[in-house]
Each structure stands twice: as C-alpha cells, then as structure tokens.
C-alpha cells in the first residue's frame, strides 16, 4: 500500500494529550514534496542552524525540537485533533484533511481498568503482574513516577495510520487497513495495557528519549530514531508494520513478547471485465469473488519461497496435511492431480491453497504447460531488473534473461520458444522464475460465436449466392454477421440460428456444440469450459475444427 505515509502513536493521560511517536522519522506528503520539502534525511543539527540556535535558550530549543511540524501541522495540534472524546472511542476513526486521511481505532483504557483482575485470574502465572499493574493504574494507588516520566495514568491511546490514497482507492484501502491491521494490532495493545500497563511503559520510554534529544543540540534525528527502535519494542513493532503495509508483505510481531500477530493486507485482485469488449459489464461472474480468486481443479500454486524454508517456518502444531501439501506442490501439477497424490478431499486442498495464498506464501496460476501462451505484461516492473538478471544468470547460466524475455513479446505457445526437447526442463524452471517475478503472465483463449448471414436468412451458401443476384444491394447489406453472447442470453430467433448452424455436422458433434454455445461469449476461457463440461482437450479441439469458420478466438489474460 504505497499510499501509507506514516504511523503515529497518540496517548492521553491524566496529564493531557501526548504525541508520543511517529514512523518514519520525517514522512513527506505529495503536497510537501511538490513544494520542495527539505530532504527527509536532514538531521536535527541542520534544522537548528536554520533556527539560529545561538539566539535561543535551552527551553526554546527543546520546544522547537518537540514541535517539529509533521505534514505542516504542529504535533501538539495533531495530538488534540487525533484525541476524540470518549463517546467516539472504541470505534473506527477516519478524518481527511487536505488530502491526508488519518485512520485509527482510539481505545479507551480507563473504563476497562476493572477488568485487569479478570485478565489476571484467567492466567494464574501472570496474576502478580496483573495485580501490580492494577495498583499502578488506580487513581488512588498509583505509584510515584520519576519526575522525567511524561505519562502517568493512560486513559486512551490511538494508533493512527496516515494515508494519501487516490480518491477512487480511498474506501477500499481504508477498509483493508482498518479491518486487517489496525483493529488487530490495537486489540493486542489494549489487552497488554490492561494486563500490565505495556502502552504506558513504552510511551514513557519513548518520551524520555525524546526529552533527552530535546536538550542536546548535537542529537540528530537518526540517532534519536536509532535509540528509540533499540529500546522500545512497541516502536519496533510499529516500524515492522509500516514496512509490511508499504511493501505488501506480512509483519510478524510479538506484542510485549506475549501476543504473536501476523498482520498484512490480504492479496487483492482488482475487478476487471473478463470481456474486454464490454468494459462496463456488471454481470456477476463466477471467476472471482470481491477480492480473491476462485480456485479451480486446473489451477496450481507457485510457492514464493523455498518449500523447505516454508515448512521450517510453520508452527509445530500445524496440520501434517499442510506440510505434505507444500512438499508435494509443483507448478506443473494441477490441484486436481495433487488431490490424488495427497489422498485428501479436493475441498481440503482448496482450503490449504487459500491459506498459503492469503499469507502470501504462494500465488495462484494455471498449471504450467508448454502448450500455454505467456507474454510480458504491459505493466511489468523492471525497476530491479539488474538484480533479477544477476540472480537469473546464477540460476540459469546457459540462458540469457533479456533474450528469453524478448521471446515473450508476441503471443505464442511456450513450446515454440524451447529450442530442443533436452532443454525443456531448464526452460520450465526459467518460466517458473519469471512467473514468480511477475515478468510474464499467461494468456487465455476466449471464444466468440459469429452467425453468418446465410444462416440468418435460412439458406445455404450456394442458395445465398444465387439470391444475391436477384436482391437489391440494400437488402443483402442489411443482413451481416451477428455476434451472439452465448445461448443462455440468446433470443428465440437466435436459438433457431444456432440449431441451424449446429445441424451442419453429425448429430453427436452438433449436440456437443449446442451444449458449448453458452460459453462462446468471450467470458469463459478454454480451460474453464473444459472444466465445467468435463471435456478432454481432444474433444474440445474437435468442436473448434468442425465449426472454425463460425468461431472467433481471442487471447488475453
């Protein structure tokens, strides 16, 4: 999610609102970047030079350090804005200012203090810690704080994600971030704060380091951030989550060494029309749900990391079938074939596959075949092509990456690229590598059915040619080829045309053709049709050959 700019931590206590932490250290919005914002790597020393440090006393230096603007706003102002009243807490918070969207889940702690003993009683071995924390947070029994500690009793904390998404992506990105990251991480922090005052302790630690930096002119941004990340586990978790969301990866965090979380934005497949001739087609299509692909028996998984490494990362209490599934995965075997190898239901295979896809350990593809057509996608990212080429050369010394990529410039079966049978295995492995790097994609074949004018007029070809001599040009021209969007949507007249067209072949072939006409609408690719109708490739080719003059094939992703 490139639109994520920063993560902020706001804490409310009996002493007021506190802007505790931000990551990264100096985020820049697009508006600031366009206005020539200073280099984000600039340190505090150069900032003080602009402020003429010699003319300021130490308290003024400290105020300027703590009041370093963020996105053009003073931190204390942001702390006030991002600290909603109690009635608005414990629910989604969303605020957009000047193109910046602030999203979070402000969490009240004060109303939950009485639950600490309950949390402790559920875990006997943590009871002493819970009791101590309860006394810490009690308004009457609170421990004496060190004079340098900025936070006393925490009443609310708010982890805020600052985004700058495109207008059309705003709702989706906010929903994804809130549901899959913010609520889960905030819930873990709330639990730990109630159990042992974790958020308060971390806020104290971070703000003590910030105070120290504010009194030391030589203390730079980088040094402060380094110390905070070294000494605060909460700051490190925030940094991990920031990079995971930014890079669309998984953040493995262990909140206070007590609660393990795996956080990510799940894989998202933007809805695109399967019929590229009808971009605004709103018909519900079975190929994909709102965000995730539908699994089919002809699909398979492409592991994004080594199988042995993946197995080593799996918890010990995981399903043995999952481990068996990972070890059996190969991109040339379909899920249907794996179902027979592993000897478990296809439904269970789907569940295991969906699990690996969700956690971005694998990507869904059609089983690799040399008959498939692959091309370089128009939006392929070649930013890291030099690094990829170096790795490719190490893995496949007999091949050249750029020569191979040039072979995918025009659509053709992969078999035509492989020079010899002996090199097939190497080229298959190279294709797997390119698919992992998203440097090639598979094209599928879609079919349209065209009804010629002689069928529409009820004549054979010879009769129509004779008729053309006697009919006016206008009448003949009024009867052209017609595109039928499948027999399911065909009118009664169009159904008659289909029967007339099918009857030109033997009965068995004609019957199969009529069965398949519902798919000849450009929305179902060949593999999908064969799966739905349980056809072999040989049977399907028979129909294509017999009716080739009426069928138009196109290829696209």
Dump pLDDT digits (tens) for 318-353. 788 999 999 999 999 999 999 888 888 999 999 999
In SS3 terms, 419-473 reads as CCHHHHHHHHHHHHHHHHCCCCEEEEEEEEEEECHHHHHCCCHHHHHHHHHHCCH
Binning pLDDT at 50, 70 and 90, where does residue 501 land? confident
Q: pTM value? A: 0.65
Q: Which residue has the tokens 């009857």?
A: 503
The two tokens of residue 11 are 């804490």
Dump pLDDT digits (tens) for 437-491. 999 999 999 999 888 776 766 555 555 455 555 555 444 444 566 667 655 566 6
Higher pLDDT, 514 or 51: 514
Q: Which residue has the tokens 């009243």?
A: 85
| Residues contacting residue 176 through CB under 8 Å, at least 6 positions apart | 1, 265, 266, 268
- Give yes or no for residue 407 having a pLDDT over 50: yes
The dihedral through the CA atoms of 269, 273, 275, 276 has a sign that is negative
Give Cα separations from 327 to 96, 309, 330, 337, 338 (angstroms).
Answer: 47, 11, 8, 14, 11
Dump pLDDT digits (tens) for 210-234. 888 777 666 677 788 888 999 999 9
| Residues contacting residue 175 through CB under 8 Å, at least 6 positions apart | none
Strand, helix or coil at 196?
Answer: helix
* CA torsion, ordered 57, 60, 62, 63, to nearest 10 deg: 180
The two tokens of residue 325 are 């599934």
Strand, helix or coil at 2?
Answer: coil
Q: How many helices (H) and strands (E) does the chain have?
A: 25, 15
Q: Are strands 107-108 and 362-366 parallel, antiparallel or unpaired?
A: unpaired
| Residues contacting residue 308 through CB under 8 Å, at least 6 positions apart | none
pLDDT at residue number 217: 64
């Amino acid at each position: 999610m490139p639109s994520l700019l920063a993560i902020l931590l706001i804490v409310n206590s009996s002493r007021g609102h506190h802007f505790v932490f931000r990551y990264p250290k100096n985020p820049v919005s697009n508006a600031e970047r366009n206005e020539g914002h200073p280099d984000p790597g600039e340190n505090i020393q150069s900032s003080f030079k602009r402020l003429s440090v010699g003319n300021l006393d130490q308290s003024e230096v400290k105020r300027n350090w703590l009041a370093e603007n963020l996105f053009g706003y003073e931190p204390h102002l942001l702390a006030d804005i991002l600290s909603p009243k109690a009635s608005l807490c414990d629910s989604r918070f969303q605020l957009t200012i000047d193109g910046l969207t602030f999203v979070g889940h402000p969490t009240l702690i004060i109303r939950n203090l009485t639950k600490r003993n309950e949390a402790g009683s559920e875990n006997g071995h943590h009871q002493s810690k819970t009791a101590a924390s309860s006394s810490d947070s009690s308004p009457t029994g609170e421990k004496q704080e060190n004079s340098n500690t900025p936070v006393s009793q925490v009443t609310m904390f708010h982890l805020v994600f600052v985004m700058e998404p495109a207008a059309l992506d705003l709702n989706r990105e906010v929903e994804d971030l809130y549901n899959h990251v913010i609520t889960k991480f905030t819930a873990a922090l709330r639990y730990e704060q109630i159990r042992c005052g974790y958020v308060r302790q971390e806020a104290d630690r971070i703000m003590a380091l910030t105070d120290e930096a504010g009194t030391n002119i030589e203390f730079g941004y980088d040094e402060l951030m380094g110390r905070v990340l070294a000494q605060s586990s909460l700051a490190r978790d925030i940094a991990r989550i920031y990079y995971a969301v930014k890079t669309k990866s998984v953040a493995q965090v262990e909140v206070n060494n007590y609660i393990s979380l795996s956080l990510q934005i799940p894989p998202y497949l933007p809805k695109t029309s399967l019929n590229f001739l009808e971009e605004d087609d709103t018909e519900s299509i079975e190929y994909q749900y709102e965000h995730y692909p539908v699994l089919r028996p002809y699909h398979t998984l492409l592991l994004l990391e080594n199988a042995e490494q993946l197995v080593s990362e799996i918890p010990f209490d995981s399903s043995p079938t999952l481990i068996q599934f990972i070890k059996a995965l190969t991109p040339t075997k379909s899920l249907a074939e794996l179902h027979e190898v592993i000897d478990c239901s296809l439904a269970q295979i789907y569940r295991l596959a969906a699990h690996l896809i969700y956690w971005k350990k694998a990507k869904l593809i059609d089983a690799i075949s040399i008959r498939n057509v692959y091309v370089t996608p128009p939006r392929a990212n070649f930013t890291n092509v030099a690094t990829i080429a170096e790795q490719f050369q190490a893995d496949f010394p007999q091949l050249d990456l750029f020569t191979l990529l040039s072979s995918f410039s025009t659509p053709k079966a992969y078999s035509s690229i492989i020079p010899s049978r002996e090199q097939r295995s190497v080229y298959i492995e190279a294709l797997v590598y390119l698919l992992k790097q998203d440097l090639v994609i598979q094209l599928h074949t879609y079919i349209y059915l065209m009804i010629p004018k002689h069928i529409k007029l009820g004549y054979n070809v010879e009769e129509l040619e004779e008729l053309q001599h006697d009919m006016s040009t206008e009448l003949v021209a009024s009867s052209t080829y017609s595109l039928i969007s499948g027999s399911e949507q065909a009118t009664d007249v169009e159904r008659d045309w289909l029967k007339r067209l099918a009857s030109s072949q033997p009965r068995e072939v004609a019957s199969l053709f009529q069965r398949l006409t519902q798919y000849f609408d450009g929305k179902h690719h060949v593999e999908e049709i064969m799966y739905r109708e349980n056809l072999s490739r040989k049977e399907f080719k028979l129909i294509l050959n017999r009716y080739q003059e009426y069928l138009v094939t196109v290829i696209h992703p």
